[in-house]
């Protein structure tokens, strides 16, 4: 990259390349950018029927990696169904 005149730290370039590969592998452009904690919390509190397909995939991925959030999501769903 430096031979082509690009400047920057190798770690930044490597991370960007890793994210791009991940987005291409999953074919989900929504996964290409990192969501903020506030955005993820909002998605976690929305009713499942109100999520877009890409948001549902993101939440499923998060729940796979952080199992305690499955319990939290269940409690939120139960609370939302109370009338």
Parse the chain into domains and list their residue ranges: 1-34, 36-83
Model pTM?
A: 0.51
Neighbours of 57 (CB within 10 A): 15
User: In residues, how long is the chain?
Assistant: 83
Check residue 28 and give its pLDDT: 55
Q: Angle 37-45/68-81 helices, nearest 10 degrees?
A: 50
The one-digit pLDDT tens for each residue of the chain (83 residues) are 566 666 666 677 788 888 877 767 665 555 456 788 899 889 888 877 888 998 888 888 888 888 898 898 888 888 888 86
């Amino acid at each position: 990259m430096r031979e082509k005149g690009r400047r920057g730290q190798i770690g930044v370039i490597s991370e960007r390349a890793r994210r791009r590969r991940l987005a291409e592998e999953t074919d989900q452009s929504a996964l290409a950018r990192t969501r903020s904690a506030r955005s993820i919390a909002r998605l976690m509190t929305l009713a499942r029927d109100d999520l877009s397909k890409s948001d549902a995939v993101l939440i499923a991925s998060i729940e796979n990696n952080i199992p305690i959030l499955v319990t939290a999501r269940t409690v939120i769903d139960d609370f939302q169904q109370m009338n």
